[in-house]
Structure 1
Amino acid sequence: MENLCLYLSPVILLALYCTAVHVINKLRNLPPSPFPALPFIGHIYLLKRPFHRSLSEVSRRYGPALFLKLGSRAVFLVSSPSLVEECLTNKNDLIFANRPDFLNGRHFGYNYTSLSWSSYGEHWRNLRRISSIELLSSHRIQMLSQIRADETLNLVRKLLHVTGEELDRVVEVKSALFEYMFNVLTRMIMGKRYYGKSVKKLKGANLLEEIATETTNLAFETNVIDYLPFMRWFGFQHVEKKLTSIHEKRDNFMQKVLEEQRGMMDNQGSCLSDAATVGKKKTMVEVLLDLQRSEPEYYTDETIKNLLLVLLQGGSSTSSIAVEWAFSLLLDNPHVLKKAQTEIDTNVGTERLIAESDVAALPYLQHIILETLRLHPPVSIIMPHRSSAECTVGGYRIPAGTILLVNSWEIHHNPKFWADPEKFRPERFEGLKRKNDLGFRLIPFGSGRRSCPGKNLAITAIGLGLGSLIQCFDWKKIGEIDMSEGLGVTTPKVQPLLAKCTPRPFVKKIVY
């Protein structure tokens, strides 16, 4: 009997602990919390990979507003449009306009000073102003439109070169799309192509591919340390060393870009605003280096590097992921692909390549993009926020320092908010007068003051790339398309998309 009591004592203590925590949370008017929250790990035992689907299951079981204990972190998990609106508008938007102190922010965010990882304050407001006005304003994006037109042409020519005269030639869509998006961004940022027939693949492209691979491979271990910091002493000692090494590679790459551009500007013998260069369409790095000359104390090399790295690495991967998902969905739904092609033929014709001005006037193409972003948002869980003060959401008390996780994937897939949510049906957006009519049911770019500043550029580049491939080629799928989702910060396809591609008869005439 004594032995039985000895064995049962830890179990009884654990049960009492979990029950006490659960009751105290209710008395504190915190959001509902799954029972039990275990010592040290909290609710981590409920999770599996991929995390967005796992969190979705938890939300559907326990409710759209949940208070979770993920290791050492208090987390408010939100999975409904009304709650997102409460969190990311008006007073609460300011309270949640901060970032948690995660490892990525320390190492890749220049010690929490980058646009992505800086918490709300004067420094962040200045970075946001610079990105919104100097780099990503409608005027700046329009000024560099010829770059996107050139790269669209290069994308079509690349696939023509691959397919040649053969019918139904198999092509790997993923690599072509990534190179297209990457070249668009590198030319806008630094005036240089890294991929293509006309250039030898530059060393920097290999380096950035290596950095992206290493970062993805380390994502799970980084998350473990973020939520279970004691694990750094139990087999995860290497994580911070690897993060430091990756960051040094990123920083060195961008520093070389700055030095090269600065040297070119010095060789010109005058700053970019002089009469000799009036009318020159500046790249983003030229804009920032020009500002550095007038305000060197603020526009430091570090500030410029962290701004450009956010744009380059964030924009190239998410946009190419979105187009690959769109093509996968179109190949699985050939009637939608045909309808989109007919729309382009009718409105653009076969005498010229689709242009940016056409994209906004092609509603069905726009609906395909929206439906793709709904079904497969490139980032399924919006970048975490952190509350700077106690606030109230949904009638519940949210303590200061709580991490806010918004599961956009769950909102996009919940039958309460969407009819037949698992079906690819672009027609669901017909009759939509304004995108704002969707409210917070569709939030692939986040919302509020921390929403993605590159949204307009992303939609433009996605529409142009997707539209050009629909216009210029006939496509067929190869067997069943694997729609499995990858792991990491973004949500790519596990298996790169392969498809049969045949140039349409008029294509060579309009691209050569």
Structure 2
Amino acid sequence: MDQHLFYYYFLPFISFFFFFFFLFILSKFLLQIPQIHKNVPPTPLSLPIIGHLHLIQDPLHRVLHTLSLKYGHAFILRFGSRPVLVLSSSSLVEECVTHINVLEYQPCGPYCSPLSRPVKHDYASMIAAHYGPYWRKLRHVTTIELFSIRRLNTYSVVRQDETRTLIKSLMFGILHNNFTRVGLRPRLQDMSFNIITRIVSGKRIFGLEVDDLMADLNFRQMIMDMFKARARYPDELLSFMQWINIDDMKKTLLRLKAKKDACSKDLLDEFWKKDGVSNKEMIDGILSLQESLHENYSDHILKGIMLTLLLVGTDSSAATIEWAMSLLLNHPHVFQKVRAEVEENIGQGHLIQENDLHKLKYLQNIVNETLRLYPATPLFVPHESSNECTIGGYHIPHGTMLFVNTWAIHRDPKVWDGPTRFRPERFEGLCSKGYDYMPFGIGKKQGLGTGLANRVVAMALGSLIQCFDWERVRERLVDLNEAKGLTIIKNEPLEAMCKARECMFNVLSKVLDDS
């Protein structure tokens, strides 16, 4: 009987143990970077097949920061068989950009998953495109035709109008000029969405004034689904997980692609029906390019540009304003200081205009400090080494993916005094912090919407400070925990006590009369 139990229970256990031991040894040869005669970055202990995927948790930037404290500012992870270099030092980032310049995003490389195509519009967008002639073409369109100073000035009326709409929505929600509890996140998101959609297409998408409620809801749902998909299915894991098809991943991404195609087709079809080009919306500028250079600007490329603007430019500004208001509510002395600056430079006779923003230096410091503590994208858009190179004295093989932990660099105690403190004064007299401060990325892949985002955030934040008094809902500080995902947003939507300022009644009455 004992022999029977041995054969049926113990031998399978021994076989199972040796099988996984064999996989572990095999992974050391197949998955680990060859270290013979090469100085490679340190790496944590990995598991067979999956590499370091067991270490990946939300929020990812905090996990990578914790690992950097143990393994240094440059270390290697493995996502399956994919090597990933993680950098948490501004000097190493500077070395990559200024001296090496070989870390380029290559979505069509051997590790690319076909499942990532739907969320990247088949790599037609500038964010996903590999650096080269096609990428330079997209860069020219977005930089010269869409985000030039002249174009940004053209859209100032849109930003001013949507800021007024934000103020009106708060006025309608306040009862009898008393402190009233209001939710800021949906109002800020509507404002941010409408600014982008009006700039791109000339149409408001969200709000009570929108005629087509179903179009409003459908577009909102598409945007939210896209953000959820980016958080659930990061591109870096798709190539490893595509054979598993977790949660019907492929069906989900293809369904989102169909929604995106339908949305962009509707925009193009509507504007092709127009008699002439008004040159007031981005889509007009894009279509005029297509008319003159059709072979260079196909409908597929134009859809990729438009959807990049809609998806990338809509949520980050709202999140930054929400973080800034949360920090101001937790630091009343900072709020009073910026309120005094607004009173001194703007007064109470009119709302803040965009041409007033250059007078509000401390307000801009608050925006900068908010982006330092809570950059919208805490990790750079992933890049890839196109050749073997050396970074920080370490050998980096061809095909290594690069993660730059902006969040960790912004909180480096060797660079920033009291890095976790909210102290806008640290930016006084500073024109640039170089590679120590990169909320919108840096180098060739730097975000093109920086100028637009700064204007939107500063205008909206300044108007909220100028027009309303604010208090916390409770005596305890506003919760600053982050939600799960690849972008930094508050876990709990911000709610605050709001009251219109008596000294601004005349101005606010005019705003309501214009509605």
> TM-score, normalization: structure 2?
0.90
Larger mean Cα displacement after TM superposition, 190-199 or 287-296: 190-199
Contact 2:51–2:78 at 8 Å: present in 1 too?
A: yes
**CA distance 1:258–1:41, shift in 2 (3 Å):** same
What is the match of residue 52 of structure 1?
61
Q: Partner of 2:398: helix, strand, or coil?
A: coil
Aligned mate of 2:200, from 168, 173, 189? 189
Is the counterpart of residue 507 in structure 1 residue 504 in structure 2? yes
Pair 220,304 (structure 1): closer, same or farther in 2 beyond 3 Å: closer
Counterpart of 1:459 (choices 454, 474, 480) is 454
1:62-81 to 2 correspondences below 5 Å = 62-81=71-90
CA–CA separation in structure 2 for the residues paired with 1:22 and 1:123 = 33
What residue is the counterpart of 2:220 in the other structure? 209
Cα deviations by residue, 1:384-412 (Å, 9 ceiling, x for unpaired):
11121222211222112111101111111
Q: SS of the counterpart of 2:499?
A: strand
Residue 487 (1) aligns with residue 472 (2)? no
Root-mean-square deviation (CA, aligned residues, Å) is: 2.4
Q: Secondary structure at the match of 2:76?
A: strand
Paired-residue identity, %: 36
- Greater shift, 196-205 or 315-324, is seen at 196-205
> Following superposition of structure 1 onto structure 2, how do residues 125-136 of structure 1 map, counting pairs within 5 Å?
125-136=136-147
Shift, 1:7, TM fit: 7.3
SS of residue in 2 equivalent to 1:108: helix
Shift of 1:232: 3.8
C-alpha displacement of 1:377? 0.8
The structural deviation recorded for 1:316 is: 0.9
Whether contact under 8 Å (1:486, 1:493) holds in the other structure is yes
Q: Describe the SS at the equivalent of 2:502.
A: coil
Kept in 1, the 8 Å contact 2:482–2:489? The answer is yes
Tell me which residue corresponds to 2:345.
347
Q: Quote the offset at 1:182 in angstroms.
A: 1.1
Between stretches 31-40 and 468-477, larger displacement belongs to: 31-40
Matches within 5 A, 1:102-501: 105-200=116-211, 202-223=213-234, 226-227=236-237, 229=239, 231-234=241-244, 236=246, 238-265=248-275, 271-272=276-277, 281-432=279-430, 434-435=431-432, 438-479=433-474, 480-501=477-498
- Give the C-alpha shift of residue 12 in structure 1: 5.6
Provide the rounded CA distance (Å) in 1 between the counterparts of 2:200 and 2:32: 54
1:179 touches 1:195 (CA, 8 Å); kept in 2? yes
Residues in 1 aligned to 2:35 and 2:362: alpha-carbon distance in whole angstroms: 48
Contact 2:31 2:78 in 1 (8 A): no
Summarize deviations over 1:205-227 as a string: whole Å, max 9, x none: 3122212332343345423x843
- Against the structure 1 CA distance between its residues 103 and 373, is the aligned structure 2 distance closer, same or farther, given a 3 Å change threshold? farther
Aligned partners of 1:11 and 1:36: how far apart in 2?
Answer: 16
- Matched residue SS, 1:499: strand
Offset from partner CA, 1:182-207 (integer Å, 9 cap, x none): 11111111111123343346433312
Alpha-carbon separation, structure 2, partners of 1:356 and 1:232:
47
Separation in 2 of the partners of 1:157 and 1:220?
A: 33
Secondary structure class of the residue paired with 2:435: coil
CA distance in 2, matches of 1:477, 1:359: 27
Shift in CA distance, 370/201, structure 1 to aligned 2, threshold 3 Å: farther
Any conservation in 2 of the 1:221–1:239 contact (CA below 8 Å)?
Answer: no
User: SS of 1:501's equivalent?
Assistant: strand
Contact 1:73 1:227 (C-alpha < 8 Å) held by counterparts: no
Deviations 1:133-157 (A, max 9, x none): 0000111101221111111111112
The 1-side partners of 2:119 and 2:21 are apart by: 44
CA shift for structure 1 position 120: 0.8
Q: Does 1:93 align with 2:90?
A: no
State the shift of 1:431 in Å. 2.6
- Provide TM-score, normalisation by structure 1: 0.90
The alignment partner of 2:379 has SS state of coil
Report what 1:268 is aligned to.
Answer: none
Residues 1:231 and 1:27: Cα distance change in structure 2 (over 3 Å): same
Q: In the aligned structure 2, how far is the partner of 1:13 from the partner of 1:76?
A: 27
Q: Given that residues 373 and 444 in structure 1 are in contact (C-alpha distance below 8 angstroms), is that contact kept between their aligned partners in structure 2? A: yes
Contact 1:323 1:462 in 2 (8 A): yes
Amino acid at match of 2:449: G
- Partners of 1:71 and 1:228 within 8 A in 2: no
In structure 1, what residue type is equivalent to 2:492? Q
Per-residue deviation at 1:421? 1.2
**Paired letter, 2:342:** I
Q: 3-state DSSP class of the match of 1:340?
A: helix
Contact 2:31 2:81 in 1 (8 A): no
Mean alpha-carbon deviation: is it higher for 6-15 or for 423-432?
6-15
1:73-108: per-residue Cα shift (whole Å, max 9, x none)? 111111100011112235x33542544635675113
CA–CA distance in 2 between the matches of 1:196 and 1:8?
Answer: 61
Contact 2:115 2:238 in 1 (8 A): no
1:328 and 1:481 in contact (8 A); partners too: yes
Whether contact under 8 Å (2:118, 2:257) holds in the other structure is yes
Greater alpha carbon shift after TM alignment, 475-484 vs 175-184: 475-484
**How many angstroms apart in 1 are the aligned matches of 2:498 and 2:355?**
26
Query: Which range moves more in the overlay, 178-187 or 195-204?
Result: 195-204
Question: Structure 1 stretch 111-120 or stretch 10-19: which is displaced more?
Answer: 10-19
Contact 1:204/1:253 (8 A) holds in 2: no
Tell me: CA distance 1:475–1:103, structure 2 relative to 1, closer, same or farther (3 Å).
farther
Output the CA distance in 1 between the equivalents of 2:492 and 2:214. Answer: 26
In structure 1, distance between residues paired with 2:30 and 2:71: 17
1:19-64 CA distances to partner (integer Å, 9 max, x unpaired)?
Answer: 6679964325353232422221112222321111111111111011
- Give the Cα separation in 2 of the matches to 1:183 and 1:334: 30
- Structure 1 residues 23 and 200: alpha-carbon distance in aligned structure 2, compared to 1, 3 A threshold: closer
Count residues with an aligned counterpart.
495
2:3 is matched with none
Superimposed CA distance per residue, residues 298-329 of structure 1 (whole angstroms, 9 cap, x where no aligned partner):
22211111111111111110111111111111
Distance of 2:231 and 2:350 partners within structure 1? 46
